[in-house]
Amino acid sequence: MKVPDRVLLAHGGGGHLTRRLVEELFLPALHNEHLATLTDSAVLPELPPGRPALTTDAFVVDPPIFAGGDLGGLSICGTVNDLAMSGARPMWLTWALILEEGADGELLETCVRGAASAAEEAGITVVAGDTKVVPRGKGDGLFAVTAGFGVVPPDRDLSDVHIAPRDAVLVSGPIGDHGATVLAHRHDLLSTGLRSDCAPLGGLIDQLLESGAKVKALHDPTRGGVVTVCHEVAGRSGAKVVIDETAVPVRREVTGVCDLLGLDPLALACEGRVLAWVAAEDADRALRALRSHPLGTDAAIIGRMEEADAGSPPVVMKTRIGGERPLDLLSGLDLPRIC
Amino acid sequence: MSESPYKDPAAMAGILETLRAEADKLERRVTLMEVCGTHTHSVAGAGLRRLMPSKVRLISGPGCPVCVTPVDYLDRALALAAQPNTVICTFGDLMRVPSSTVNLERARAEGARIEIVYSPRDALDFARANPDHNVIFLAVGFETTVPTVAGALAEAEHDGVPNFMLLPGNKTMPQVMRVLVDDPELEVDGFLLPGHVSVITGWRLFEFLSDEFKVSGVVAGFMPTDVAQGVLALVRQAADGRAEIENVYGRAVSAEGNTHARDLVDRYFEASDEVWRGFGTVPGSGLGLRRDFDHRNAALIEVEVSDPAEPVGCRCGDVLRGVIDPPECPLFDAGCDPDSAIGACMVSSEGTCAAWYRHERWAGEVGS
């Protein structure tokens, strides 16, 4: 494979260089019969039974390469996970890259390879793509935009409206790893030992949904973290989320980075975790199902739903020392504190 | 995933039990004030206020550096940001603090060069990397922060980085606390003294509180059990009728503090009269740049700044003096919230109003 050392405007011009980039980098990495036709649109086989699910997402992470992943792999995982949260089996994905003139060819190759291996792991096919190059200074190295398509099998029906008081809240593993890793990179916090949790969750979700536990809804706590998802769920279900601080798995390294930068792990992004709302009587069964999958070994029951009452906050945390505090949505960006 | 002993529920339960027993001995309700934003944050974050015995009222004083930064400081920063070839470097908290006009966040969106940094050192690096720009660091913060500013100045002087400047706005605690204890409106029985500040100053600096004003003070750390222990020590003093300065943060704070850091600060800064939001000018409560370093002083750059306009109805000043709790301000959660802060106390996560808004507003508890 011949990868250019620098991205040139001509790589997005539609001419010779564009063609070479596609034929020598994208096609070999993402190879499949639909992409290989290089036609204007991918014409795909008939769908299996079920309801179609469609999602779209954009990825602009800085830095584009971080411990445990890269922007390419992240863009595939993020899209696949959004499909999986509605119970959909991921099928096809489109992948568009916006490159900045002068971007490092090695970065591009890393991200393409990251995307290819994530797609393979997730069992999704990249059936269409596009590349644009913007002049130097008009972008930030590399952005990716995706659309993901899947089908929700007829026996699956996940929705926040099913959530009721007493339901258990589970998380599939330690929270905040991705957000803390990216922040640590950005602030040159060396040797934290942190790695992004970025991973495709389809297999884990299948295992959970096939365990027989009555799963009401699933969410991936990406941007805005666990606290944001809890607020959305409280809003849509009309019930109150009560989180138990002692039960929430957070790595020591993540707590460390958060303490240094003045941030809250509950508001940090995860890219390979799922929050599951499960009927109370099935909580242990769901926990076992999650823990028996390699991506869910540290799963935990972190809280439960309660009746909402007027004048009380929608999301509450029982603190470690026996206090209680409402968890609020972030206002703007979570700005670092001075001291 | 192991946990700090300072968050241990069993240890906490023990302290709280003792605290309740001691509070039972009190003849009346006592008011204790913390004067450090990180204490405000810890109290709210751990849900401590609701664990306090009914005879203990915890209030917040002027401990959030962003909140006490006056409007005209922001006005000047904005005027400087509008100068050609100028980059403003600031801690993130200041970005949303209201000025007379727009805040820094908005000014940046409109094209001003404003960078968020985590340390003055980052601003210095920025100056090195952009030699054709004046890089002005907005120096706010208390005794804890100012040694890092002095460190960056020392490096800039030593390495000859001519384009690194400061807009001095650093403040020190003792003088404003003197104003507080002199305020007839305020009835504070004791101070939870700032642990981080005391690491630098040493706890002995606060002895004037007990010596001159017969007010107690306890230096405490920031983990939940630290804060509870500080409160316990203050309640014990109140129950015994004592007024002393104690230190329950011995693992970090000594009587004399960090003399090396203070020497470094003294090399570059001298006491100055400083305006505090809510207090006006407090003599000797600021740190101005020494005249030898005029070439680093962005306050000497001539820019046009009109008279500062304080937001109408905002009672940040009364909140900072501890005269009212945030819900008593007519704007609290009625036009002023973290998304559209009117008063500075709502902006920083350490601000008293922001902490109340996030953590306490549901409790409907107005201490008095």
What is the DSSP secondary-structure string of A157-176? Answer: ---GGG--TT-EEEESS-SS
Residue A334: predicted pLDDT: 55
Nearest-by-Cβ selection for A252 from B2, B13, B362: B2
In the structure encoding, which two tokens stand for residue A145, read together? 């935009």
Nearest-by-Cβ selection for A323 from B8, B50, B140: B50
CA distance A324 to B51: 9
Beta strands in A81-157 (DSSP E): 89-100, 125-134, 142-152
Residue B306: predicted pLDDT: 86
* % of chain B beyond a pLDDT of 90: 67
CA distance B90 to B77: 10
Segment B43-64, tens digit of pLDDT = 888 888 888 999 998 888 888 8
The stretch B269-283 carries a mean pLDDT of 92
With an 8 Å Cβ cutoff, are B225 and A336 in contact? no
Nearest-by-Cβ selection for A322 from B12, B44, B364: B12
- What three-state secondary structure class fits B76? helix
Segment A264-284, tens digit of pLDDT = 899 999 999 999 999 999 999
Q: Is pLDDT above 50 for B194?
A: yes
Mean pLDDT by 10 residues, chain A (339 residues): 82 87 91 88 95 96 93 97 97 96 94 97 95 93 96 96 97 96 84 88 97 97 94 96 96 88 88 98 98 98 93 88 82 49
User: How far lies A192's CA from each of A145, A177, A183, A271, B190, in Å?
Assistant: 30, 11, 11, 19, 40
* Average confidence score pLDDT of chain B: 91
CA distance B35 to B38: 9
B198 CB within 8 Å of a chain A CB: no
* B152 φ/ψ angles, rounded to the nearest 5 degrees: -65, -40
Higher pLDDT, A334 or B118: B118
Residue A326: predicted pLDDT: 85
Residue B28: predicted pLDDT: 94
Residue B366: predicted pLDDT: 39
Interface size between A and B, measured as CB pairs under 8 A: 110
The stretch B67-72 carries a mean pLDDT of 89
Contact between B39 and B220 (Cβ < 8 Å): yes
Contact between B91 and B138 (Cβ < 8 Å): yes
With an 8 Å Cβ cutoff, are B118 and A336 in contact? yes
Contact between B250 and B222 (Cβ < 8 Å): no
CA distance B28 to B32: 13
Residue A191: predicted pLDDT: 64
Residue B34: predicted pLDDT: 92
Bridge partners (DSSP) of residue B241 are none
Q: Is pLDDT above 70 for B363?
A: no
Residue A141: predicted pLDDT: 92
Higher pLDDT, B8 or A173: A173
* Separation in Å, CA of B216 to nearest CA in chain A: 25
Contact between B89 and B137 (Cβ < 8 Å): yes
Q: Is pLDDT above 80 for B142?
A: yes
* Separation in Å, CA of A183 to nearest CA in chain B: 12
With an 8 Å Cβ cutoff, are A320 and B7 in contact? yes
Segment B203-257, tens digit of pLDDT = 999 999 999 999 999 999 999 999 999 999 999 999 999 999 999 999 999 999 9
CA distance B49 to B51: 5
My answer on whether omega of the bond before B162 falls inside 30° of 0, hence cis, is no
B141 CB within 8 Å of a chain A CB: yes
B260 CB within 8 Å of a chain A CB: no
Instruction: State how beta strands B269-276 and B280-289 pair.
Output: antiparallel
**List of chain B residues whose C-beta atoms are within 8 Å of the C-beta of residue A227:** none
Contact between A339 and B38 (Cβ < 8 Å): yes
Residue B128: predicted pLDDT: 97
CA distance B152 to B155: 5
For chain B positions 280-319, those within 8 Å of chain A (CB to CB) are none
CA distance B91 to B65: 11
Segment B285-307, tens digit of pLDDT = 999 999 999 999 999 999 999 88
Local structure of residue A24 (DSSP, 8 states): I
**List of chain A residues whose C-beta atoms are within 8 Å of the C-beta of residue B3:** 320
Q: How confident is the model at residue B365 (pLDDT cuts 50, 70, 90)?
A: very low
In the structure encoding, which two tokens stand for residue B72, read together? 């005209």
- Taking CA–CA distances from B195, the nearest residue in chain A reads A339
Residue B22: predicted pLDDT: 96
The stretch B147-152 carries a mean pLDDT of 97
Residue A331: predicted pLDDT: 58
ipTM tops the 0.95 cut:
no
Closest Cα partner for B188 from B282, B15, B60, B20?
Answer: B60
A interface test, pick of B48, B223, B362 with most A CB neighbours within 10 Å: B362
- What three-state secondary structure class fits A64? coil
Beta strands in B187-334 (DSSP E): 190-194, 216-220, 245-247, 269-276, 280-289
CA distance B182 to B193: 17
